Amino acid sequence: MKKNSVLFVLFILPIVAYLFFASGVNSFTKLPIVTPKTADFGDWSTLDGGKISLNDKVTVLGFSGTDLLINRGNLFNLNQKIYQTYHKFKDVQFVVICPIGTEKDAKKVVDALSAFTDMAQWRFVFASAEEIQAYHKQLKLIENLDQKLGTPKVYIIDKERNLRGRKLVKDTKEGYNTFHPAELSNEMLDDFKVILYEYRAALKKNKNASRKI
């Protein structure tokens, strides 16, 4: 009996503890709001000439910069690790803010992804350098864009246009680095599930309330 207890403490208990913590700090809570009520997009056009909004959408937001084509691998990582699983949700969109003049590069990326991806929820929107800087500034992020108006990080914006992330012990996790597939597979995937669960739970609660009435 003692032998079994010792084996449990030495081997089984650490594995259980690891699996618990590896499931993510936000698995059982709401994802914190980092920046409330961020601005919606201006009168910016998408690749197909349309307009988009952050309202009533769960948005994964990125800033491509002028090196969009060079850094296309980051978008491929995001596409494989997050988009492919959740693109069928109609209230989810993946938006990349690009500098005006990079339309042809964006089209090449879209064409490449289209070979194996339904691109219905991908959006590439174009703005001037000044507009991009101003928009990024109002998000109140710790890190700035690089000199080419880009960043490898993407951000989660909820349906009420709140920037969501993790409030850690010493700092805040605002975004997720698309250069690192492991970060997308673990931290971002975990947090994205939390956001979607919030809305599913709210929808279920509203339906139940309506039935009672």
**How would DSSP label each residue in 129-162?**
HHHHHHHHHHTT-SSPP-TTSEEEEEEEE-TTS-
pLDDT band at 203 (very low <50, low <70, confident <90, very high): low
pLDDT at 30: 83
Residue 26 burial by CB count (10 A; 0-12/13-18/19+): exposed, middle or buried? buried
pLDDT at 72: 96
Residue pLDDT, tens place only, 17-37: 444 444 444 444 689 999 999
3-state secondary structure of 47: coil
For residue 83, give every residue at least 6 positions away whose Cβ sits within 8 Å of its Cβ, in sequence order, or none. 60, 94, 117, 121, 122
State both tokens at 182.
């492991």
Q: Give all domains of the chain, ordered by start, each with its CATH number.
A: 31-205 (3.40.30.10)
Residue pLDDT, tens place only, 83-109: 999 988 889 999 999 999 999 999 999
For residue 199, give every residue at least 6 positions away whose Cβ sits within 8 Å of its Cβ, in sequence order, or none. 58, 91, 159
| C-alpha closest to that of 136 among 149, 122, 121, 123 | 149
Q: Residue 160 and residue 155: Cα distance in Å, rounded?
A: 14
Residue pLDDT, tens place only, 153-199: 999 999 999 999 987 656 678 999 999 999 999 999 999 999 999 88
pLDDT band at 122 (very low <50, low <70, confident <90, very high): very high
Residues 125, 46: contact at Cβ < 8 Å? yes
pLDDT at 71: 95
pLDDT at 23: 44
DSSP per-residue string spanning 80-136: IIIIHHHTT-TTEEEEEEEETT-HHHHHHHHHHHHTTS-GGGEEEEEE-HHHHHHHH
pLDDT band at 66 (very low <50, low <70, confident <90, very high): very high
What average pLDDT does the structure give for the chain? 86
| C-alpha closest to that of 98 among 90, 88, 109, 87 | 109
